A and B are shown apart, each in its own frame.
Chain A
Amino acid sequence: MSTVVRNLRVLRRMTAAQIVGASIYRGAWTIFMVANICVPIISLLIWRTAIANGARLPIDERYVTTYFVLLSFVTMATSSWMTGFLAEYIRLGRLSSWMVRPASVLLSFVANNLSEKVLKLIALVPMIGVLWWIFRDSMNIPAGPGRWTVFAVSIVLGAILVFTIDLLIGSLAFWMDDVTALAQARLIIASVLSGAVVPLALMPDWSRGFIDNQPFRFTVSFPVEIVAGNLSGQELLVGLGIQAGYVVVLGILARLVWSAGLRAYSAVGA
């Protein structure tokens, strides 16, 4: 049996088990999702008021509305929360018990990510649906399944990208005592640069070149733009290309850092 197939089987089993385990907390997940959707709704109302008051934004009301309605879904679908846990595994030496198994510890993190995400999205989708219905008159809905497919692909790439960044920062715990400050800094930076706070289209002109090409745009904003915005076919292709490029580059980097870390870990022991 090839390693890939075996790993996929392990992953499937672990994910299924984790879904069963985590579904005990579905009440808590639901409340978490209600909380998560609060800030996008606040932003949505603020920007609609600004437009109604004659603020001359580079984007119209339909863009703003669609953007914020979809935002919490995409943010959740691409999110990852393993930095802290991974750092703890490394620091407290719990990694050792995983290193004797024929499956990478990362597999368990992927399983955890997938299972919790499934449950959280199940809780989130009805809420998005209600929002969509309330604002149905000012939502951009792309015609045809083409855009939706690209949207889905872009979300998957975004999710891999976020996971990879998480892995990179968590791996630093092989060499650093405390990565929590770093992880927190990254979260704060990411919230602005990913478009989770304000649509990147509203960023000032002087920052355009940087804003449009930095990696965080491709973790949240870009997938949302595919549905909400008016990206041309060419912009779409270029965007997907850059996104895939970041996934490959950061993926290789994370892989190198991770194996270097594991070597350092085995050498010293913990």
Chain B
Amino acid sequence: MTESLGSEERSTAASSEAAASVLPGGESTARSANTLDSSAESTDSAQLQSSVIELDSLCVNYDKPVLDSLSAEMRGSCIGLLGPNGAGKTTLLNTLLGFKRPSSGKASILGHDLKSGNQWVRSMVGYMPERDAFIAGMTGIRFVRMMAELSGLSSKVALERAHEVFFYVGLGEARYRNVESYSLGMKQLAKLAQAIVHGPRLLFLDEPTNGLDPPARARMLQLIREIRDSGDTHIIIASHLLQDIESCCDEVLVLKEGRIAKYCNLEEERRSNRQFLLMQIRGDEIAFVEGLRNLGCEVALPNRRRIKAIIPEELDISQLYELAESLSVQIRNLDYKRDSLEDIFLRAMDAD
């Protein structure tokens, strides 16, 4: 049904050149090798499978330590960055974008050290800031085209992709309007457009749904998921909205007071607690609990008539009903509980 964003530009470029190109480099690999790290080409195809961001005892100090010895290897296709105010999210973003230098330790993006390969890294990332950010006096299309050219695209390709990306984010009809005249939601989409116009391998989104009404928010999240599912781009989302993170991300990094409080794969984290059940019963509670234990469950009784059970992997829920039937116990309520991101986040905040 759909066709790739870059199809037209590829048809206008020499086909052999386009076919040969794997990275921003393709046709003019030798030329770009002067400015961008040529080793990128060999490592790049493997990057989607290997680590996206690697932090190795990363410390950033202002007057006091803001990031304290962060170590993590992030591999997810969409990674949520969470933490309360002052936890260090902004500083981490600043550092990864090359705006702040680490005091010690190192960070690498897509296998390239930030210190030595800063220019290469910047050519590979897209960034959507939280606050209003645009270039005054420009139409949307000119703004995005300029951003694409600054990322290294030729003028012609930049124009083509700017048009395409504007339609892609749903601003096609407004692309000739001045950016200053856009509504808040349109500005958010324009910021997303400039962040993805050059087809980055890593996309930083800082509070992407800030100030959006529910339909616009849903649209933005849908776009993020589409970009994620394209497989071409890894995404880092910093947001206070846990629902947004939960709906898009497969991994989360929770920061607390400049340290990593939790880094986990959401699905694995949920899976580890998927057998967690809360039951309310009427009947012989003691016999039912005993029966559960005989089935291999860990059982706790937080209060009267409520049973909390962690059931083993191999146990099917239907066996519980069979047990209840055999003991003439009524299961009045059964809550199949999965850990939400909020649970994970709150647990990380509570942990020392």
Whether chain B is bound by chain A comes out as no
Residues of A within 8 A of B (CB): none
B interface list, Cβ under 8 A from A: none
